Each structure stands twice: as C-alpha cells, then as structure tokens.
Amino acid sequence: MDTRNITFMNWTRRTFLSATGASTLFAQPRTKRPNIVLIISDDQGYGDLSLHGNPYLNTTHIDRIGKEGAQFTQFQVCPVCSPTRASLMTGRYNYRTGVVDTYLGRSMMHTDEVTLPQILKQAGYRTGIFGKWHLGDTYPMRPLDRGFEEGVYIKGGGIGQPSDPPAGSSYTNPFVYENGKLVQKKGYCTDIFFRAAQEFVAAHREEPFFCYVAPNAPHDPLEIADAYVAPFRGKNLGAKTEKVYGMVANLDENVANLINTLEKLYLLDDTILIFMTDNGPQHERYNAGMRGIKASVYQGGIRVPFLVRFPPRIKPGWEVNYIAAHIDILPTLADFCRVRLPENLKIDGRSLVPVLTGQPSQWPDRTIFTQWHRGDEPVLFQNAAARTQRYKLVNGSELYDMDNDPSEAKNIAVAKPEIVSKLRQEMVAWFQEVSETRGYAPPRIFVGTEVDNPVVLTRQDWRGPEAGWDRTSIGFWEVDVRAKGNYEILLRIPAAKDDGEATVHFGMRDWKQKFTKGSEEVRFAALAFDARKGRLEASYSYSGSNSKLGVLMAEIRRM
C-alpha cells in the first residue's frame, strides 16, 4: 500500500476529530481490544424487523447490523426477560443464578455469580449500562454492584411497575437512576437511554468499553408519541400493534443515532455491535409464522433476532444456521476480546466465534434447554423445551422436526420414541443438575448497609402466596439485617380511605403505628433490629376491619 495514502488518512482523522472537539488520538492501536455495544430490546419479537419479513416495519438501521455482519437464524432465549438477562450476564442457565421469574422476589440474581461486566472490567474495559437491568434493585444486586461502572437505568422490570418511585410511571420525563442517584430526565425513555449511551462511548473512546443498551421498549405500557404511531394506522393492525410498531420505529431511529456516533468517532469497525431481544412478542402479531408468543417455549416465544457486526472478523451477510443461545454470549465476547475467564467458572454456553468467522469444518451438535413458569420453583417438564439442531422436545411429550416443521405443527413423538426418550433423559439430568447448583431459595435483601441506606423494599421483590401487584396483595421480604441498631421505617400506602393502623413485623416482634384518613405515609421511629436474617412484613388495616393490606413500599433507614 502507498504510505502516502496512510499519512493522508491519518491526517484526515486528526482534522475531523479536532474539529469536533474529540481526542487527537485519531485511531486505536491494533493491539487494543475491540469495544462492545450490545443492544437488547424488551418484548420485541423475531418478526418485529423488516429483515425478518415484517410487511409493515422498516427497521433499516437495525437490519444494517445483520446485513453488514452475521444473522443467526436459530438463536434461542428464555420466554421472559429476567431469566434471559441472567443467562446473558453469566453464560449460565438462569436456574443456576437464582433468577426463575420476573417479579415477586424471583428475579434477583445471587451475588456470587460472575458477570460479563465484571469480567470485562477486570480486563481493562470501561463498563456502562443504559436502560433495564432487572436482576436486583438493592445492594449488592444493583448493576453498579455487579460490574457496571456507570449508567442511566431503571429499577424492576420496567417503567410503570411497583419499583418506580411515587409518580414515576411515565415513559416521558421518567425517573431513572443516573450512576445510582434518582433523577428525573426530560424526554422519551428510549431516547434518554440511547443519548446516554452515545455520551458514554464518546467519553471512553480512547479505552475499550462495554456499552450495554437495554431499552424497556416495546414493553407495556405502550407509550409513544403519536407521530410514530400514525404511519401504522389504517392497516388493520389493532391499537396495540400500532403502538408497538411505533415504539420499534423509534428504537430503530435511536440505533441509527448510536451507529452514527460510532462512525463519527471512527469506532464502528473496531466495535462488536450486537442487536438482540429478550423474548418473543407480548401479544399476537406478525411473527414469521412461528407458534406461540412471550411466555411460551414454542419458537414464537424463544426464537429472537441475534445480529452481530464486527468487520475485522465477520463477513457481511454471513448467515449462521446452527442453534445458539443466550448462554453463548459471555464466552463468545470473551473469546473475541481475548479475555480470560476466571478459573473454575462453570459456563453452560460455548464460544460462537468459530461459526461467526467461518472456521469450523465440524460443529458438534448439542442440546439447549429452556424452561419457565410462574412460581418459586420450577416443575420438571412444565413449560420446558430441549432443542437439538434438528429436533425439539416440548413439555416432555411433544416432539417436532425443526428442519421440516419449523412452525411446530406436527407432533411426531409417536413416530420417534427413541428420540423422545433420549431428550427426556437429557432434560431430567439437566433439571436435576441446575436445581442442585444452589436450590431456589432467593437472595436476601440487605438492610442497614452504608451504601444503600435507606433501602427501598417494593412489591417487585416481596414474596408469599398472597403477594402480587394489586391493591389487595400482601407479602413479605426475605431480608438480611447487616447491622444491629435503631431503624426508621417509612411505609407508603394508597391514600387512606379511613383511619387505621400499620404494622411492621420482623422476627418475633410487631410494631404498630396509627394513621388518619387521607394518609399516604406511615412513619415508625427508632425500631430496634438485631443483626439477623428473617422475613419482614409491613401491612395496614382500617379501623373496625380485620383484613390486612400490603403497603406499596417500605423505606428502611439505619439511624
């Protein structure tokens, strides 16, 4: 190559970056590890991309990632969000991590799990999260406790859920956590998260970074400016689908902005850029002819887009037809980035680098497992699937030939009893092993620490047979009081329709406090707690009634 051309390109990059106020370091050295930008949307199905044949959407910029990189045609996740995210973060089946569901204390990840941002941070990466975490709201389970160094993120499973602060339920001008501090941001939530991600990559362009962008769109509630919805009206789609498509159009616009930022900073080709979603669509709409939606282990609930762009290693337009899954993301990124995994770390996934780069002359088949249902503990074969490259066993009794019947319309279990038996045995062994990893006792919420004081307990994380999100629900929190002392507790309740009394129960003790009609808060001062583990319950009742009601949230401060 003519060295004069190299000199000219270098001078051009310096000039551009100087003009934009960016660093005069115009290019990354070849020895620098690649950056990572991983985008995971919420409740966006496989069919919610024009790349996958959607006749109404035009997701040009998301599609670009796949067209200029690799597209996986058989990528599998869990049928709901928290379990998928737990596997993504650890490379392990979610049942090993403590995450079995999305709420009621079942979406908190044990803190001895080793996470992707922890591994990358240890290797010199700057780590940032922008959007949804959904693996624990309290110390030491929060994203900034688990390897992320900075971010703008939300609690719980999304905006408009019980972990939101009071009056924090709108997608526009939402309350978010910026580097751990509660703030209200102006604008639409997806725009806010992507704008923060752009600022992050610009600020850390001279060092390798991991930018995790996890918008809560197009998850319910379906809130989006009418200008995004209008193009989809009059097509007999239904009001819900119109709004979902509007949210996806906004998402695609934000993906374009992020890609443009990477291009302007000359980082795009030095960045592993991934787009994926966490499960299938939350309601029936175009889904590429697949059976089932979110919560189902049929393909419509667990097959998602997985697009990877990285020009130094991945050819444009590369199609990968091998089965792959969320558990493969951590080992794949570690492999691409030349990052050594901790010794003795049990990973369920495998690196996909060989199939992404076209290396393997042979790729061993394997069985990938997925399971989910409501409840504290899973039940063998309940809403469960075992998938090989060709066959898929559903609920222990239905068998489908995925090569010849991708829509899962014909159960061939009777014709293939030997395959049913083999996959059943594999699933029994898998179920027993992941269950024995740690069991299903939930992580306990720390109370009385210096780093999370007051700690806020919400309906997102309480448990019990009557726990839920409606006004009649009541539950308890499994807590670990870390320090003996006096504690102040503030209970938040719906505006009281009458006088009444609130109760805090912990250990063998009850504390009671009167409140008056119209009250929305009940304060307890100087409750003496021992350092111990136990169940904490906060409830209230009205005068003359024996019915207990659960509070909206409890703030517990060590004095």
Over residues 433-472, the pLDDT tens digits come to: 999 999 999 999 999 999 999 999 999 999 999 999 998 8
| Measured distance CA(281)–CA(269) in Å, rounded | 31
**Burial track 46-61 (b if 16+ CB lie within 10 A, e otherwise):** bbbbbbbebebbebeb
Please measure the distance between the N-terminal and C-terminal CA atoms of the chain and give it in whole angstroms: 69
Instruction: Return the pLDDT at 43.
Output: 98
Query: Which distant-in-sequence residues (6+ apart) come within 8 Å of 203 by Cβ?
Result: none
User: How many CA atoms within 13 Å lie on the side-chain side of 58?
Assistant: 3
Residue 96 near residue 349, CB atoms below 8 Å: no
Instruction: Return the pLDDT at 335.
Output: 98
Cis peptide before 221 (omega within 30 of 0): yes
| Measured distance CA(246)–CA(229) in Å, rounded | 5
Instruction: Return the pLDDT at 97.
Output: 98
Q: Cβ of 292: how many Cβ atoms within 10 Å? A: 20
Q: Classify strands 445-447 and 318-320 as parallel, antiparallel or unpaired.
A: unpaired
Helix 239-264 and helix 60-67, axial crossing angle in degrees, nearest 10: 60
Place of tokens 């050819």: 315
Condensed to tens digits (0 to 9), the pLDDT of residues 175-197 reads 999 999 999 999 999 999 999 99
For 83-88, what is the mean pLDDT? 98
Share of the chain above pLDDT 70, in %: 94
CA distances from 274 to 37, 426, 455 (A): 6, 31, 34
| Measured distance CA(336)–CA(107) in Å, rounded | 29
Residue 9: which pLDDT band, with cuts at 50, 70 and 90?
very low
| Measured distance CA(310)–CA(272) in Å, rounded | 5
Q: Residue 208 corresponds to which tokens in the numbers above?
A: 């390798």
In sign, the C-alpha dihedral spanning 205, 209, 210, 212 is negative
For 505-523, what is the mean pLDDT? 96
Q: Which spans in 204-307 are helix H?
A: 226-229, 239-264, 299-302
CATH 2.60.120.260 fits 445-558, yes or no: yes
- Asked if residue 552 has pLDDT above 80, the reply is yes
Question: Cα–Cα–Cα angle for 334, 390, 68, nearest 5°?
Answer: 45
**Burial track 476-490 (b if 16+ CB lie within 10 A, e otherwise):** bbbbebbeeeebebb
Residue 467 near residue 502, CB atoms below 8 Å: no
CA–centroid distance for 95 within its chain: 15
Instruction: Return the pLDDT at 13.
Output: 37
- Asked if residue 34 has pLDDT above 70, the reply is yes
Instruction: Return the pLDDT at 546.
Output: 87
Q: Cβ of 502: how many Cβ atoms within 10 Å? A: 25
| Measured distance CA(229)–CA(232) in Å, rounded | 6
Residue 168: which pLDDT band, with cuts at 50, 70 and 90?
confident
CATH 3.40.1480.10 fits 39-356, yes or no: no
| Measured distance CA(394)–CA(400) in Å, rounded | 8
Residue 6: which pLDDT band, with cuts at 50, 70 and 90?
very low
- Asked if residue 246 has pLDDT above 50, the reply is yes
Please state, rounded to an integer, the average pLDDT across all residues of the chain.
93
Share of the chain above pLDDT 90, in %: 91
Residues belonging to the chain: 559
- Asked if residue 5 has pLDDT above 60, the reply is no
Condensed to tens digits (0 to 9), the pLDDT of residues 333-369 reads 999 999 999 999 999 999 999 999 998 878 999 999 9
For 303-308, what is the mean pLDDT? 98
> Which one is the CATH code of 368-438: 1.10.3720.10, 3.20.80.10, 3.30.1120.10, 3.40.605.10?
3.30.1120.10
Residue 31: which pLDDT band, with cuts at 50, 70 and 90?
low
Q: Residue 413 corresponds to which tokens in the numbers above?
A: 């279990």
For 325-332, what is the mean pLDDT? 98
Instruction: Return the pLDDT at 133.
Output: 98
For 286-311, what is the mean pLDDT? 98
Considering only the C-alpha atoms of the chain, give the largest distance between any 2 of them, rounded to a whole number of Å: 90
Condensed to tens digits (0 to 9), the pLDDT of residues 368-426 reads 999 999 999 999 999 999 999 999 999 999 999 999 999 999 999 999 999 999 999 99
CA distances from 429 to 98, 350, 426, 494 (A): 19, 19, 5, 47
- Asked if residue 286 has pLDDT above 60, the reply is yes
Residue 474 near residue 466, CB atoms below 8 Å: yes
- Judged by DSSP in three states, 106 sits in coil
| Measured distance CA(185)–CA(495) in Å, rounded | 27
**Burial track 188-226 (b if 16+ CB lie within 10 A, e otherwise):** bbbbbbbbbbbebbbebbeebbbbbbbbbbbbbebbbee
Condensed to tens digits (0 to 9), the pLDDT of residues 215-232 reads 999 999 999 999 999 999
CA distances from 30 to 204, 312, 444 (A): 17, 11, 45
Condensed to tens digits (0 to 9), the pLDDT of residues 192-219 reads 999 999 999 999 999 999 999 999 999 9
Q: Which spans in 150-225 are helix H?
A: 189-203
- Asked if residue 8 has pLDDT above 70, the reply is no
Point out which residues pair with 506 in neighbouring strands.
509, 536
- Asked if residue 11 has pLDDT above 80, the reply is no
Q: Classify strands 75-76 and 324-325 as parallel, antiparallel or unpaired.
A: parallel
- Asked if residue 25 has pLDDT above 50, the reply is no
- Asked if residue 28 has pLDDT above 70, the reply is no
Question: What is the residue extent of each domain of the chain?
Answer: 39-356, 368-438, 445-558
CA distances from 181 to 105, 189, 290, 379 (A): 23, 17, 42, 39
The DSSP secondary structure of 17-54, one letter per residue, reads HHHTT--S--S--TTSPPEEEEEEESS--TTSSGGGT-
Q: Which of 39, 26, 38, 32 is nearest to 207 (CA)?
A: 32
| Measured distance CA(149)–CA(69) in Å, rounded | 29
Instruction: Return the pLDDT at 193.
Output: 98
Place of tokens 């995971």: 40
For 35-48, what is the mean pLDDT? 98
